[in-house]
Amino acid sequence: MAEQTVFELRQKIAQAREVIAHLIEKAAFNGAEAHRALEYFGSDSFDRDFLPWPHHGDEGLRPGELNASNDD
């Protein structure tokens, strides 16, 4: 991957993190999953299974079906 492309992808991820933080603040949502997303998008790591719902035809819960009772 070209150096410019890597730089632009890193900038896009930084923008995504800022958008998530802004939406969390606007929604007054401060739960564990919100912090998990901010931490993930603020790091350089990649987790193929980051999404809590299926992304390749697997079985599982969609976002609206998730139980938010574990949020702090």
Residue 46 lies in a domain: yes
Half-sphere exposure of 44 (CA within 13 A, CB side): 2
Residue 48 lies in a domain: yes
What's CA 54's distance to the chain center, in Å? 14
Cβ proximity of 17 and 42 under 8 Å: yes
Does residue 24 sit in helix, strand or coil? helix
pTM of the model: 0.53
pLDDT in tens, 4-60: 899 999 999 989 889 888 888 888 777 788 888 888 888 888 998 887 766 555 455
pLDDT recorded at residue 11: 92
30, amino acid identity: N
Residue 58 lies in a domain: yes
Domains identified in the chain, total number: 1
Range of the domain at 47: 3-65
Q: How far apart are the C-alpha atoms of 68 and 36, rounded to whole Å?
A: 13
